Amino acid sequence: MDAMNIEEVKNKLQTYKEYSTYVYVRTNTSNYNGYICSVDKDAFMFKDDILNIPFPIRFDELKFMPVPSNKKGSDFNYGRRCDGNN
């Protein structure tokens, strides 16, 4: 994660989580589309469309700042959340 402010990344991720925003995340090894479940000190929990369980992504693995995805999730307009409550 070159020249990104960690606090700014955390703030954006927290906002995406609160509004159940469908986001695009690119790491050094993969690309993901899904939802932010939680934001912690060194990582955040992410629920990808393809994988059934949330998994952690460390901030130092990010290649770019996570952004709202231009793809539409399979649950578009249903407000899916990581805790399973709709």
Is residue 62, in this structure, part of any structural domain at all?
yes
**Segments forming the whole domain that contains residue 46:** 6-68
In the prediction, which pLDDT does 12 show? 96
| pLDDT at residue 86, as a whole number | 45
Domain count, the chain: 1
33: left (phi over 0), alpha (psi -120 to 50) or beta: beta
3-31 pLDDT tens trace: 789 999 999 999 999 999 999 999 999 99
Whether 48 is covered by a domain: the verdict is yes
Exposure b/e, 39-76, CB count within 10 A at least 16 = b: beeeebbbbbbeeeebeebebeebeeebeebeeebeee
- 43, part of any domain: yes
Asked if the model's pLDDT at residue 60 lies above 70, the reply is yes
Q: Could you tell me the CATH number of the domain that includes residue 23?
A: 2.30.30
Percent of the chain with pLDDT over 70: 79
Instruction: Determine, yes or no, domain membership for 85.
Output: no
pTM: 0.79
Q: Is residue 55 part of a domain?
A: yes
Q: For residue 73, is it within any domain?
A: no
What's the mean per-residue pLDDT of the chain? 85
Residue 75 lies in a domain: no
Whether 1 is in a domain gets the answer no
